[in-house]
Amino acid sequence: MLKTIDLLKTEGWDALVDKLGIVEATRYLLQFQRGAGDYTEVRRDLFKDISVREILSEIKNKIKDKK
């Protein structure tokens, strides 16, 4: 039998706090906040003036620079 969502949330939170402590458990959960806006539209606008090849080239250069 499945637990209710409320019970699952409570037990999950308790498990996180037991393992991580309240501060780290809170920090962990904050990583999963819902964002606002349209992710796809933002990315289209962000990369509208750059080609996939240029992006790939930049990635390769950054990897090379780290070595």
What is the distance between the alpha carbons of residues 52 and 39, in angstroms, rounded to a whole number?
A: 18
CA distance readout (Å), 34 to 5, 16, 29, 38: 19, 20, 11, 11
Do residues 25 and 13 lie in contact, with contact meaning Cβ atoms separated by under 8 Å? yes
Does the pTM exceed 0.75? Answer: no
CA distances from 13 to 31, 33, 36 (A): 14, 15, 24
The confidence score (pLDDT) of residue 66 equals 82
| pLDDT tens by residue, 13-56 | 999 999 999 999 999 999 987 778 898 999 899 999 999 999 99
**pLDDT-derived band of residue 67, with 50, 70 and 90 as boundaries?**
confident
